[in-house]
Chains A and B, each alone.
Chain A
Amino acid sequence: MDAVRTVKYEEELDAGFASEVAALPGGARLWDCIQCGTCSATCPVSLYMDRTPRQIIGLIRAGFRDEVLRSRSIWICTSCYACTVECPAQVPITDFMFALKRLALQDERYHRSLIPWVERTFVKMVHANGRLTESRMGMKIALRTGPRHWMSLAAMAWRLFRRGRLRPFHTERMRDPESLRAVLRALKAPPREGVA
């Protein structure tokens, strides 16, 4: 058996992590969490997470930056907002999840899976055309995931195509995507990815 140290010494933790995460509007409620676990209990996908939403909040407060940003949990969150609505301390948990995704991408250290890739691809597509072409995104995902996966969807894809809901040669784009890019440029974004 390998020796795997799971406990961190205080100096290995990130004391500023909590404040960094709490910098978003309403984020000060991070400290109101009483660790009751209602968020995890109401979350429809918490049972698939490596760290439940409650644990994520606790880990943020304690400064376990690495564990949090590398967790699978933050990518599994579907932002259904059930936790936010149920939380008795009104902690904006879902908004924290978004912030953690941003930080994880910024840090470039995160659990590699399809989801962050999809999100980044989405952004690129919007940048190029101002809008997303669903079918094109679907094709990109299919190519990335490999033939076995997209074969299972091929029958559906064909039926959708036949019914005019999937147009593989159509690109949904703005008349003048530059007018959008001008705004984004003026905002000096991207490449600046951050929390706030």
Chain B
Amino acid sequence: MSGEYLYYPGCSLKGAGAPYERSLLAVFERLGLRLVEIEDWNCCGATAYLSVNAETAVALAVRNLAIAERTAGRDVVAPCSGCFLSLTKAKRALEESPDLRARVTSALGQASLAYRGTARIRHPLEVLMTDLGPAELRKRIVRPLKNLRLAPYYGCAILRPYEEVDDAHTPTVLEELVRSTGATPIDYPYKSRCCGGMLTTGVPGIGLRLTEILLDAALEAKADALVTTCPLCQYNLEVFQGRLKKPRLPILYFTQVLGLALGLDETAVGLDQMLWRLPLAPGVTA
């Protein structure tokens, strides 16, 4: 275990997901892990490209993996769950179809890139809980988030369809992370139900209803905040609360929560960039 990882930010982390990047980099640094951004990475294609052309979508994603492979033996950390799934799908598509693999590798070759299929794609939640583990994390916690009730929200991509990060029906890894920070994970019915994805923009009548169901459940379970692993989920759950006329519920990234517990201040984990402030209890101050 080298403690060094390649970092694939994805377009969202450079946009509305900026707090995710800030807290991710800060947390990794605090834990003594290194993240090196992949050189001149391109968009993973998300779901949009796959709706237009499958082969191009794969090539788009794989270009990043080919660049990653130039640094041998380093895993690629993709914090955005959507990117994580896109990259994973593309990798598997090439593993399953020698035909497609030949065409894509050839096209990459013409741009002086080689792809061997060795790059491993991982989500930072899984990286922290596997490579470090809850016991190790607990040791590093300096500011336990006592009395903080957090609703863990997994979203879709890290669980389905490949169950890369945890079991699709009974996931527990995010609860374990919350517990290791000293906070209390609360139980509620919709931990991995779709947040609405692009529909909150595309067909708000549908998308916002999905978002609302999640918010209602978290609020009913008396959560102080909801913890997410994906910038699109975070955006959907945070930005439309006014429109949905809901009491304000902070929607945080798990890296922000972990960062606070590790002793980083609010700005360091991007809490100042969030729309709704987290009510940190006395003794758990900034």
Contact = CB atoms under 8 A, between A and B. Distances in A.
Interface string A171-196: 01011110110111011011011111
Interface stretch (B7-15, B145-153, B218-226): B7-15
Contact of A80 (B55, B56, B160): B160
Contacts of B106: 186
Given A115-B198, A115-B203, A179-B40, A126 B239 contact: no
A189 B16 contact: no
B49 A79 contact: no
A44 interface: yes
Interface in B160-212: 160-161, 168, 193-194, 196-199, 201-203, 205-207, 210
Given A126-B60, A172-B14, A119 B51 contact: yes
A102 interface: yes
Interface stretch (B133-141, B256-264, B268-276): B268-276
B233 to A, nearest CB: 11
Nearest to A118: B202
Contacts of A134: 11-12, 14-16
A81 B48 contact: no
Interface string B6-28: 00000110111111000000000
**From DSSP, what is the main secondary structure of chain A's interface residues?**
helix
Contacts of A132: 11, 15, 43, 46
Given A81-B160, A122-B49, 10 more contacts: A78-B198, A78-B210, A84-B161, A85-B161, A102-B51, A180-B60, A180-B63, A183-B108, A186-B106, A192-B53
Nearest to B89: A95
Contacts, number: 203
Interface residues of B, number: 65
Interface stretch (B69-77, B96-104, B122-130, B278-286): B96-104
B53 A182 contact: no
Q: How large is the interface on A (under 10, 10 to 19, 20 to 34, 35 or more residues)?
A: 35 or more
A160 B197 contact: no
B19 A165 contact: yes
A26 B156 CA distance: 21
A44 B60 contact: no
Interface stretch (A30-38, A58-66, A151-159): A151-159
Interface in A102-157: 102, 105, 113-116, 118-120, 122-123, 126, 130-135, 138, 141, 152-153, 155-156
Contacts of B275: 156, 159-160, 163
Given A78-B194, A79-B197, A115-B203, A190 B53 contact: yes
Contacts of A186: 106-108, 110-111
Contacts of A84: 160-161
B52 A190 contact: yes
